[in-house]
Amino acid sequence: MPVKVQLDRIGMAFATPGGTFRAVAPLDLAIETGRFVSLVGPSGCGKSTLFNVIAGLLQPTEGRVLIDDEDATGTIGRVGYMLQKDLLLPWRTVLDNVILGMEIQGKPLKQARERALPLLRKYGLAGFEHLYPNSLSGGMRQRAALLRTLLFDTDVILLDEPFGALDAQTKSQMQEWLMQLWSDFRKTVVFVTHDVDEAIYLSDEIHVMGTRPGRILETIQIPIARPRPRAVTLSPDFTAIKERCLQLLTADRPALEAA
Amino acid sequence: MAIQDAPRSTELTGLAMAPAKAATPKPARRLPVQKDWPSWAIIAVQVLILVGIIAGWEAAARAGMVDAFFWSQPSAIWKTLIIFFTEGDAWVDIGFTFRSTILGFIFGTTAGSLIGLSFWWSRNYAAVAQPYIICFESMPKLALAPLIILVFGLGLTSKVVIAFALTVVVSTLTTFAGVKALDPDGEKLFYSLGASRWQVFRKLVMPSCVPWIISVLRVNIGLALTGAIVGEFISSQHGLGRTIFYAGSTYEISLVWVAVFVLSTLAVIMYAVVSWLENVLRKGTRQ
């Protein structure tokens, strides 16, 4: 598999009154085309910082971001980025929210709407197209936000804890929904989460991250065959991977307390 | 305070001691319920009060308990009202005050909103402008009125400028507050989609600030009217403010009351129209 996104010695440091604070140690990361990759780690491990760097919203202190072997450090509009909040615009209908990316790219509105409508219907937002976001439930809003990210035609999408605020029931529904979208659209997905179960269930590959400075502790492959039924979360393979992840995350904790 | 606190503390001790001895029966207290009068009853009482005031005023004036020279009396005011509308300049005055108010309101609100929005474009520019705006905000703008009349003349323009001066600052500050309240993540989203600054401004900043702009409309219509009236007090050839000032200085107290009454009616109508406009805009922008 060719590499889609490559982080080349990316590091992040901030000047503080007490000296330089290292948020992210120089790290390398290669994400292959079409894979579902998760970053798991405690708060403050630099996951969100890395996302902002990949999206071009933050200039790294050192290193380069390569997308399709091209230097994309500090360039915006190269990847789809879904932030934790859905950020739907309250004065636009769901349909007009979803086409925001295409609209900004200069696509005629009519064309953009024609493209989006069948997808909204196919992916669980039928009947909501012309409603305003304030009449939608949290799960529905998240769906709209994700479709907006997908319809912004980039090969790579970054999802920053998209299901973090949802209840367990809605969350597992949304995970299956996301799996369907991913297999239909064939995008490269980078996913950030706190939830180890979620990361293992969804991903091909997990990067477990540690704090102070933010760094990758270990990369774990998930060789579980797809499609994955829910029951897979109870299988010995799954449990073994989960154990390893938790071990890594727990082992990293004393460093946090000592600092 | 002490009276309110007292029962609460007894309740607390009562609770604390509950396991020790059998609880003394607490007096059953019901939720205080207020019964609403039917709307006709409310209106009837309101009308009754108004009629009472007018009748009492008239009676007191006739009995000599109130000096009709200083206070006038309802019957005289009514006669003056008829004369003001049939033989006087009523419509000219109303038209003059109305025009200066509306023009000042429109220019002031528009300019203020644009200035407020413009602060989004540059943090440095906003930081430089800040002290000037605060100065202008805290200054009593009406103190400038004589100067404005001197510069812009006795006509409509000077009244519009005073109304403008009063409204522009409120709009600027409120819109700027809207700009400052923008969620930075919203901008992040737009930039991640490759947006230009102009696109962020048009599609995010402007619509986000619309509710803030709408929220000052009602305040501004009142301010614009105040500005226009004060301008007319100082020096003018027309307007309700000028009529009040003129009538007061010639001891025509009933005409003062007539002009005040007409002015209040005008204010209420403009306020109602702006409130209606506000509702329409709010619905239109889904805020």
pLDDT, tens digit (0-9, with 9 covering 90-100), for B60-101: 999 989 898 888 999 999 999 999 999 888 899 999 999 999
Nearest of A126, A124, A229, A222 to residue A174 by alpha carbon: A124
What DSSP letter does each residue of B207-260 carry, written as one string?
Answer: HHHHHHHHHTHHHHHHHHHHHHHHHHHHS-SSSHHHHHHHHHHTT-HHHHHHHH
Residue A209's pLDDT band, with cuts at 50, 70 and 90, is: confident
Phi, psi of A164 (to 5 degrees): -60, -35
| Pairwise CA distance, residues A96 & A103, whole Å | 9
- ipTM, two decimals, is 0.86
| Pairwise CA distance, residues A140 & A138, whole Å | 6
Nearest-neighbour CA in chain B from A91: distance (Å): 5
Q: What is the pLDDT of residue B21?
A: 58
Look at residue A32 and give its three-state secondary structure.
Answer: strand
From the number of C-beta atoms within 10 Å of its C-beta (0-12, 13-18, 19+), residue B152 rates as middle
Residues of A with a Cβ under 8 Å from any B Cβ are 52, 55-57, 76-81, 83, 85, 87, 89-91, 100-101, 103-105, 132, 134, 152
User: Residue B192 and residue A87: Cβ atoms within 8 Å?
Assistant: no
Alpha carbon of residue A86 to chain centroid = 13
| Pairwise CA distance, residues A31 & A232, whole Å | 25
CATH class, range B90-284: mainly alpha
Q: How far apart are the first and last CA of chain B?
A: 41
ω before A17 within 30° of 0 (cis)?
A: no
Nearest-neighbour CA in chain B from A57: distance (Å): 7
Residue B12: CA count within 13 A, CB half-sphere: 5
Q: Tell me the residue type at B143.
A: A
Question: What are the pLDDT digits (tens) for B203-256?
Answer: 999 999 988 998 899 899 999 999 999 999 998 889 999 999 999 999 999 999
| Pairwise CA distance, residues B109 & B166, whole Å | 10
Phi, psi of A61 (to 5 degrees): -65, -35
| Pairwise CA distance, residues A8 & A12, whole Å | 12
For each of the domains in chain A, give its residue range(s) and CATH number, in order of start: 3-79+155-258 (3.40.50.300), 85-153 (no CATH)
Q: What are the angstrom distances between the C-alpha of B92 and each of A202, B52, B98, B216?
A: 76, 33, 10, 29
Nearest of B233, B225, B221, B137 to residue B177 by alpha carbon: B137
Closest chain B residue to A157 measured between Cα atoms?
A: B192
* Neighbouring-strand partners of residue A6: A30, A66
Residues from chain A that touch B212, judged by Cβ atoms under 8 A, are none
B1 pLDDT above the threshold of 80 = no
Q: How many CB pairs under 8 A join A and B?
A: 56
User: Residue A76 and residue B207: Cβ atoms within 8 Å?
Assistant: no
Least confident of A43-52, A103-112, B98-107: A43-52
Of B192, B207, B287, the CB nearest to A55: B192
B22 pLDDT above the threshold of 50 = yes
DSSP structural state of residue B35: P
Residues 6+ apart with CB under 8 A from A159: A82, A146, A149, A189, A190, A191, A192
Q: Pick B14 or A176 by higher pLDDT.
A: A176
| Pairwise CA distance, residues B101 & B160, whole Å | 7
| Pairwise CA distance, residues B124 & B129, whole Å | 9
Strands (E), A59-174: 62-67, 70-71, 80-82, 156-160
Q: What is the pLDDT of residue B119?
A: 93
Nearest of A193, A190, A200 to residue A232 by alpha carbon: A200
Nearest of A37, A48, A46, A42 to residue A5 by alpha carbon: A37
B11 pLDDT above the threshold of 70 = no
Q: Best-predicted range by mean pLDDT among A5-19, A135-149, B45-59, B194-208?
A: B45-59
Determine which helix (DSSP H) or strand (DSSP E) holds B267, and give its type and residue range.
helix B253-284
Alpha carbon of residue B218 to chain centroid = 5
